Chains A and B, each alone.
Chain A
Amino acid sequence: MEPAVIELSKLTKQYGEFTAVNALDLKIRPGEIYGLLGPNGAGKTTTILMMLGLTEPTSGTVRVCGIDATRSPLLVKRRVGYMPDDIGFYEDRSALDNLIYTARLNRIPLPEARDRAELLLQQVGLAHAAGKRVGAFSRGMRQRLGLADVLIKRPEIIILDEPTLGIDPEGVRELLLLIRELSRSEGLTVLLSSHHLHQVQQICDRVGLFVGGKLIASGDIESLSRQLDGDTRFEVEVDVRDPDGSVAGRIGSMDGVISIETSPSDALSPGANSVSTYRVTSDVELTSALALAVVEHGAPLLGLRPVRAGLDDIYHRYFEGGAAHERVDG
């Protein structure tokens, strides 16, 4: 295995009595996109600040590219681009000026800074607004400018704190695609924090669930769901017209079915009351057998889809589990 580019060990940060980050261990490999997931106040931003040496940890070490971030933050900041969650620009300067300023703070000579800034503005799709005052930018434009601002120093690692906050869905999609594309083409390591689960799910190689200053699970989405369930389970959702509940009884009697639940029906679809949606959990693959059973029963089958554990579920179940755990402890 390649050496990790970001390595946190036993990282702890306390604000007085409050522990924001608690004995965190994390390794991020070069070239991957890692999503740091957690609710507000979970300690994501604090962790990021410690990675950049902007905040001193109470104990533990941070090594970024093999450099101790607490001791020599300057060397780390030279290699790491950081986009704060609510990025600010000098509003009365143009986009180009803002980028050139950042570049020059990184000791890039003026002519080269200008070239890079123009190129990046093109890449993030802001070439038409290069000379415009940033004050007149929309939220999505700012976020894209932020990405350009992070990339102008040609970093090895970029850290994005809530990059999708406050952008419309289409903007989010574009931004995430852009991040993924850039990461793949330049071989960048990306660390992004978010509390928007599916967004992170779209582009991350691995995610870490971060709750109350602790990393409670880390890995790709499949391994996370395995960690959660302990064994493999299959879930299928069946849409069927079943006014008397006989189909449900038929499915429930099938071999391998563990449970069958009625999912809340989609209130937006017309005539929803006549269609039932069942969520069938089983320990063997049952999709085709289910279809057969429903059709044989003579009921109209309207939809059939396997359900993969999304981050939403994982996240939700982790919280449920966590809460239950605490209850047991108490």
Chain B
Amino acid sequence: MSAWMAKLRDRAAKSPLRSAPASNGADAAGRRAPSPFWIMVQKEFGDHIRSWRFIILLGIVTLACVGSIYASVTALKNGGGAGGNGQTNAENSFLFLKMFTESDGSLPNFLTFLSFLAPLIGIAIGFDAVNSERNKGTLSRVISQPVHRDDFLNAKFVAGLLLIAVVVFSLGFLVMGMGLFTIGYPPSPEEFWRVVVTLLVTTVYVGLWLNLSLLFSVRFRQAATSALSGIAVWIFFLVFYGMIINLVGNVTIPSDPTDALAVMHQQDWLMLLQRLSPAYLFQEAASTLLLPDVRTLNPFITQDQAYLALNAPLPFGQSLLLVWPQVVAIVAETALSFAASYVAFMRQEIRSRS
């Protein structure tokens, strides 16, 4: 991501329109003032960090992390983990990763917490990004400065994403550090990279929710409406989407259960529908990365498949390959919702407080 940002910065510097010296002689000193885009990002970032909302959010997420660590460490101490799959070999070699996925049952594990809370972070950061500025009358003031209109939205997004990256990575590393401290078992490089990539995917996933809430904040004038819509979508995907898919599955079940082709066809369809949900995609991606034993993301349909499947952990590269489509899908959904909010924002007329 840093490379991407460097490129952005570079482009901003090269753009002839932006680097043209200001008419009022601001650049007379020969020193280039930073572009308005980065000033906006800086301000947004500062605003987020100082806000109560962020502190509260950080509190919740930190508590969740500490709780999940406690649960997983207890589980590991009690011997092998409650949800062990009998592979003694794998159990020993990926002990460190188990910290993220095991639990003694008193509390959900880190991964579950993360997939539950991540959307909340995104929604909380983005839901009033545009409409609060509009209602306070600051939007028209900022837009009447020599800044590109899209820079405003981009700055909101980049600042939010940076903040999310900082939060997610610091929490991830915090859990790693605390785990190291309590179990005293160092991670192998592979385990380390698996965790890092998971955190990266999490950042992208939270970015998706950030974008969705940005879209709502462009669309709805009231911050409350926008927050509520964000939460509604979150709950829909978290709770109801799976139920609806099950319902659809029950209704469309082939009449002849021996017709393997029809059964497989129907299963494929259901998986496709299931994978429209970003929550499901993230769940698949993160669990594959943190559980090397996962060899395939498609359910076994026939007995043969289950019987013949190898039962050994995948190397890191193969796990990555397995989740690549999921990651791409999440990025695509992010891009889609950003494009929607971009179009909506560029078309809106900006008057003061209306």
Q: Which residues of A contact B (CB under 8 A)?
A: 45, 49, 52, 54-55, 74-75, 77-79, 81-82, 84-92, 101-102, 104-109, 112, 149, 153-154, 161
Contacts and interface: CB of A to CB of B under 8 A. Distances in A.
A102 to B, nearest CB: 6
A112 B144 contact: no
B144 A90 contact: no
A78 B146 contact: yes
Interface residues of B, number: 36
A234 B201 CA distance: 81
B138 A105 contact: no
Contact of A84 (B144, B146, B148): B144
A109 B24 CA distance: 12
Interface string B122-157: 000000000001001111111111111000000000
Contacts of B27: 107
A102 B145 contact: yes
Contacts of B133: 88
B351 interface: yes
B144 A153 contact: no
A178 to B, nearest CB: 19
B144 A86 contact: no
B352 A74 contact: no
A104 B352 contact: no
Contacts of A161: 352
Contacts of A104: 33-34, 36, 39
A101 B46 CA distance: 12
7 contacts: A78-B146, A81-B144, A85-B352, A88-B140, A101-B39, A105-B40, A108-B33
B17 interface: yes
Nearest to B151: A105
Given A54-B350, A88-B353, A109-B26, A149 B141 contact: yes
B141 A87 contact: yes
Contacts of B349: 49, 54-55
Contacts of B22: 78, 106-108
Contacts of A79: 23
A106 B26 contact: yes
A54 B352 CA distance: 12
Given A102-B145, A153-B145, A107 B137 contact: no
Nearest to B349: A55
Contacts of B137: 84, 86-88
Interface string B332-354: 00000000000000000111110
A180 B330 CA distance: 57
B311 to A, nearest CB: 58
B145 A88 contact: no
A87 B36 contact: no
Contacts of A102: 141, 145
A107 B23 CA distance: 10
Contacts of B24: 78, 106, 108, 153-154
A89 B36 CA distance: 17
B29 interface: yes
A98 to B, nearest CB: 9
A308 to B, nearest CB: 35
B11 interface: no
B138 A88 contact: yes
Most buried by B among A49, A74, A88: A88
Interface in B1-57: 17, 22-24, 26-27, 29, 31, 33-36, 39-40, 43, 47, 50
A268 to B, nearest CB: 37
A41 B40 CA distance: 33
Interface in B256-281: none
Nearest to B51: A92
A79 B140 CA distance: 16
A90 B17 contact: no
Given A74-B17, A84-B137, A88-B141, A106 B353 contact: no
Contact of A105 (B39, B351, B352): B39
Given A78-B146, A84-B351, A107-B33, 19 more contacts: A74-B17, A74-B147, A82-B144, A84-B137, A84-B140, A86-B352, A86-B353, A87-B141, A88-B133, A90-B47, A92-B50, A105-B142, A106-B146, A107-B27, A109-B29, A109-B33, A153-B146, A154-B24, A161-B352
Contacts of A106: 22, 24, 26, 36, 145-146
* 8 nearest A-B pairs in the assembled complex, by CB-CB distance: A88-B137, A84-B352, A82-B144, A107-B33, A78-B146, A88-B136, A105-B145, A108-B26
A78 B146 CA distance: 5
A58 B313 CA distance: 64
A54 B350 CA distance: 7
A99 to B, nearest CB: 11
A84 B133 CA distance: 14
A51 B214 CA distance: 29
Most buried by A among B36, B40, B138, B147: B138
Nearest to A161: B352
B350 A77 contact: no
Contacts of A45: 351
Contacts of A107: 22, 26-27, 33-36, 146
Contacts of B144: 52, 54, 77, 81-82, 84
A89 B141 CA distance: 8
